[in-house]
Structure 1
């Protein structure tokens, strides 16, 4: 569940019927969250106001066609990392 701490109310609920969530990571500057569960992970953006992506050195992580993708600028290589499923 995603909570508004100021208002003390629930905003969204993400469910995986047969999985337990174990870890949550929040991007320090963007509205991006990653949640690890028994069968993988989910990367999502609250409110979906813009596409999810992250730059790291000469690499770009982004979402396209329901996959987390990795693009390396120096080699111009693009590859799928993991499928993204709806919670």
Structure 2
């Protein structure tokens, strides 16, 4: 397994660690104005909001998991099917 780590270059400290059990991270991209980081790995990509520990959305093969209207949603590209998975509660 491989861990993706986000570092504060000024303070030289680790901010967050993201685990992927069977994937290696290959590429990173940072949004120039927003607090977003995109990480590409062996089986897809993940976009993170750095102030949170959960991704804004996640791609996996033919599927997209994303949040909308306080629900985790699932979209399958091949069938164009979109469905609610679970409600999201505030901490």
Range into which the TM-score falls when normalised by the shorter chain:
0.5 to 0.7
Taking structure 1 as the reference length, what is the TM-score of the superposition?
0.57
Q: CA RMSD in A?
A: 7.7
Runs of 4+ in 1 over 2 A off after TM superposition: 48-87
Which has the higher relative contact order, 1 or 2, with Cα contacts under 8 A spaced 6 or more apart? 1
| Pairwise CA distance, 1:64 | 2.9
- Comparing 23-32 and 73-82, the one that deviates more: 73-82
Stretches of structure 1 that go unaligned for 5 or more consecutive residues are none
Aligned length: 87
Deviation at 1:14, TM superposition (A): 0.7
Write 1 or 2 for the structure with the bigger share of strand.
2
